[in-house]
Amino acid sequence: MIVTYTVPNKEALADISVRAFLRQNCGFSQGLWRRLKWNGTLLVNDVPVKATIAIASPGDTITCQIPEQSSLAATPMKLDIRYEDEYMLVVNKPPGILVHPTGGDHTNTLGNGILHYYKITGQNLDFHPVHRLDRNTTGLVLIAKLPQLQNVLTQQSKGKFFHRSYLAVIPGELQESSGTIKLPIARHPDSIIQRICADDGQPAITHYRTLSRNNGKSLLCLQLATGRTHQIRVHLSSLGHPILGDDLYGGDTALISRQALHAFHLEADNPLNGEHISIYSVLPQDIVRAFYR
Residue 92 CA to residue 266 CA, distance in Å, equals 11
CB neighbours of residue 247 within 10 Å: 13
Average pLDDT, integer, range 118-135: 92
Amino acid at 17: S
pLDDT score of 100: 84
DSSP states along 206-221: EEEEEEEEETTEEEEE
pLDDT score of 156: 52
Architecture of 164-263 per CATH?
A: 2-Layer Sandwich (3.30)
Choosing from 46, 80, 85, 134, the catalytic residue is 134
pLDDT score of 157: 46
Handedness of CA 134, 140, 143, 149 (dihedral sign): negative
Q: State yes or no: pLDDT of 111 exceeds 80.
A: yes
Q: State yes or no: pLDDT of 108 exceeds 80.
A: yes
pLDDT score of 103: 63
Contact in structure between 185 and 204 (CB atoms under 8 Å): yes
DSSP states along 215-240: TTEEEEEEEESS--TTHHHHHHHHTT
Residue 140 CA to residue 49 CA, distance in Å, equals 41
Active site residue 46: no
Q: pLDDT digits over 143-196, tens only?
A: 999 888 887 887 654 456 788 999 999 999 999 999 999 999 999 999 989 999
Contact in structure between 262 and 167 (CB atoms under 8 Å): yes
The more confident residue out of 53 and 119 is 119
| pTM metric for this prediction | 0.81
Q: What percent of the chain has pLDDT over 90?
A: 61
Q: What percent of the chain has pLDDT over 70?
A: 95
CATH 3.30.2350.10 residue ranges of the chain are: 164-263
pLDDT score of 104: 64
| pLDDT band, very low/low/confident/very high, at 288 (cuts 50, 70, 90) | very high
Question: Parallel, antiparallel, or unpaired: how do β-strands 61-65 and 2-6 relate?
Answer: antiparallel
| pLDDT band, very low/low/confident/very high, at 24 (cuts 50, 70, 90) | confident
